[in-house]
Amino acid sequence: MALALGSWAPARAEGGLETLMTNGPCGNRLDVVFFSEGYTSAECGQFSADAPSALEALLAKQPYTAYRSHFNAFAVFAASAQSGSDHPKLGIARDTYFNSTYDPAGDYVITIPETADGAGKLDALLQQWLPAFQTNRDLVVVLVNDAARGGSGGPRIITSKGATWEEVLVHESGHTLGRLGDEYEEPTPGFEHPGLEFPNVTTNTTLARIPWKVWIDPATPLPTPEDDLQYWDVIGLFEGANYSSTGWYRPKYDCLMRTTFSWSRFCEVCQEALVLAIRERVRPGEDFLPASTNLVVGLGQRLAFSVALVQPEGQTVRVQWCTNGMPVAGATHAAFVLEGAALAPGPHTVQARLEDHTAFVRSDPAGRLSQVQTWHIERIGLRLDPPRVLGGGDCYVRVSGHATGEVVLEGSTDLAAWQRLLTNGLEEGEWRFTNRCVPSHGFFRAVTTP
Ligand SMILES: [Zn+2]
């Protein structure tokens, strides 16, 4: 086939990568990538407007707002031959890049095939544009250019541009990131999860067995009456969740995992799960210096340590520096200096202990809010006892202390020029020897080899 150059421009199948927001290295940020689905090449500009809107919609809800600096965001445009998506219930089929479709029963749940025709294309684009992206820790959002309401969570978020699509996107992120369950009670055949508990959905009614028990005031009745206004803003045990109006319970009267109105918010229990999910991916500290964790320091030397804190709103990450496991008073800044003179010769440790004291989390059994960086320090130092002159012209010398390498005994007659006499290692912190060459020098010193 011959191309008539200049007469037409072939539609670009992949429009490329657009960076929406960077806050740090991809390896220590939650990277979000928005993909276009059902946008024709003529609608590329529309996607360029929709992707940042979707990002801001996500970051407009807590706890994402507070943790905004923990995200990077990108957009990848892939042109579809036709606009929209398939609606099998309505007999509508459209030729789109990722072959998305609404479900045939409810015309709401949007999926793409987990094959080369769908997810495979998505993975190939990730490989091409964002090789550092990790599908098991980062977030893929497929924006479907269709006006009918719908979406899905799971390994990736899919959302259309139907009514309250921004809230649908945030709701689905609760499933994908926080592994949260649905708090609504309308039966939806095929989507019930019998016997499966979630951080925000349970069948347990005794306080000790409720996953969010630390959020429940002892005065709050369990189950919590739904028709009593005084409990609408507290955490309790409300019946109706997981597609069932009986036998399943949720933490709060309302939550984004239950309703997707523009004013809906995640309840405290769901916020906690999401902050733990963010902290699982984004550690509180990065750029630890020195980069090497095995260091040597001498008597008159000092070592400078530092860490960059990845702070949410409110600057809730704090650091405590410790030597040999003990906190150093006042050492709570991003930088710390260790004086060799403050340590006895021998092995030591320096630690930066970081913790996010966020109010979003009350229970952190896996320790995701804390981080410890440890450096191993060898404090080197030698002691040379005054040489003792023995009978027969011999001299007894003892060197003790701590060295990482060999120890050299040097002699001098004027304290200016030093001559290497003997080299040896310390055995259990000591080197004793008797030698005839020593008495010919007036002064001696022991030094470590570098
Ligand atoms: Zn919730």
Query: 182 alpha carbon to ligand 1 midpoint, in Å?
Result: 8
Query: 266 alpha carbon to ligand 1 midpoint, in Å?
Result: 5
Q: Which of 126, 155, 176 is the last residue of a domain?
A: 176
242's CB contacts (< 8 A; 6+ apart) are 181, 182, 183, 185, 192, 193, 198, 201, 248
Q: Please determine, for residue 10, whether its predicted confidence score (pLDDT) is greater than 50.
A: no
260 lies in the same domain as 112: no
Query: 240 alpha carbon to ligand 1 midpoint, in Å?
Result: 12
Per-residue model confidence as pLDDT tens digits over 178-233: 999 999 888 876 666 666 789 999 999 999 999 999 999 999 999 999 988 899 99
**What is the CATH classification number for the domain harbouring 353?**
2.60.40.10
Query: 267 alpha carbon to ligand 1 midpoint, in Å?
Result: 4
230's CB contacts (< 8 A; 6+ apart) are none
Query: 239 alpha carbon to ligand 1 midpoint, in Å?
Result: 13
139 lies in the same domain as 19: yes
Q: Tell me whether residue 423 is in a domain.
A: yes
pTM check: above 0.75: yes
Most trustworthy range by pLDDT among 153-162, 234-243, 320-329: 320-329
Q: Please determine, for residue 7, whether its predicted confidence score (pLDDT) is greater than 50.
A: no
217 lies in the same domain as 265: yes
104 lies in the same domain as 28: yes
**What is the CATH classification number for the domain harbouring 149?**
3.40.390.10
Q: Which of 154, 176, 198 is the last residue of a domain?
A: 176
Q: Tell me whether residue 407 is in a domain.
A: yes
Q: Please determine, for residue 277, whether its predicted confidence score (pLDDT) is greater than 50.
A: yes
132 lies in the same domain as 65: yes
Q: Tell me whether residue 71 is in a domain.
A: yes
* pLDDT confidence tier of residue 6, bands split at 50, 70 and 90: very low
Query: 228 alpha carbon to ligand 1 midpoint, in Å?
Result: 19
Q: Which of 220, 252, 280 is the last residue of a domain?
A: 280
Query: 111 alpha carbon to ligand 1 midpoint, in Å?
Result: 24
Query: 87 alpha carbon to ligand 1 midpoint, in Å?
Result: 30
Mean pLDDT computed over 408-413:
86
Domain around 320: 283-379
Q: Tell me whether residue 192 is in a domain.
A: no
Please state the domain count of the chain. 4
231 lies in the same domain as 167: no
Concatenated DSSP letters for 397-425? EEEEEE-SS-EEEEEESSSSS-EEEEEE-
20 lies in the same domain as 150: yes
Query: 259 alpha carbon to ligand 1 midpoint, in Å?
Result: 10
